[in-house]
Chains A and B, each alone.
Chain A
Amino acid sequence: DIVMTQSPDSLAVSLGERATINCKSSRSVLYSSNNKNYLAWYQQKPGQPPKLLIYWASTRESGVPDRFSGSGSGTDFSLTISSLQAEDVAVYYCQQYYSTPPTFGGGTKVEIK
């Protein structure tokens, strides 16, 4: 199985500041035949199900604010919130879907400083 490792475990950022979450996979999730990274990011607020933010490592899901962006390739990825808002307080997960079973990172909790 591909192991997904997120860092940091938690992050406290001031309102309006940038937050960056890292995700590393134990094997490359870049599929060479289509040059796509099989990596998604989710946001989970307390008491709610996860919500898809980003897929193919950098494609924003419809309706997701453009302050959320995904980057990276191969084994190293990042989710950036360019200007943290109060409603962004949540746990964020990365997930690879390059191979079965799909696997998630352990999550990063984002809070307001």
Chain B
Amino acid sequence: EVQLVESGGGLVQPGRSLRLSCATSGFNFDDYAMHWVRQAPGKGLEWVSGISWNSDSRDYADSVKGRFTISRDNANNSLYLEMKSLRAEDTAVYYCAKDPSGGDGSGYYYFDYWGQGTPVTVSS
């Protein structure tokens, strides 16, 4: 059974940093691209960032480019999101999501499995 479990969210002041983690199991993690998608309270879905299976390709939404860094540790089946210079508009539930593409390529950029999400609140 595929499982994605996010952690690391919480309340943080504007301008500070936070690191999210996503522990995965139930599939060959190093075969798949992975993503972060967020959802502001009462709002829709926004893709944040994606990373290829071998970390060679990383993409970011314009809204987080230069502030957020996606990374992965294939030995530990884990995905990360380092968030710096956080703003109030970054307040959201952050979901870790698996890309269905396998093997070569940077991913299809749709999402077949999602974690339960970890909430991030940026407020003073």
| Chain A interface residues toward B at CB < 8 A | 38, 40, 42, 48-52, 55, 61, 93, 95, 97, 100-107
Secondary structure of the A side of the interface?
Answer: loop
Q: Are B109 and A97 in contact (CB under 8 A)?
A: yes
Of B10-18, B24-32, B39-47, B78-86, the stretch lying at the interface with chain A is B39-47
Q: On chain B, which size bracket covers the interface? A: 20 to 34
Instruction: Tell me the complex Cα distance, A61–B116, Å.
Output: 19
A103: chain B residues at CB < 8 Å are 47
Q: Who on chain A is nearest to B61 by CB?
A: A101
11 A-B residue pairs with Cβ-Cβ distance under 8 Å, sorted by A, are: A49-B115, A52-B110, A55-B110, A55-B112, A95-B45, A101-B59, A101-B62, A104-B46, A104-B47, A106-B44, A107-B45
Q: Are B112 and A61 in contact (CB under 8 A)?
A: yes
Q: Who on chain A is nearest to B63 by CB?
A: A101
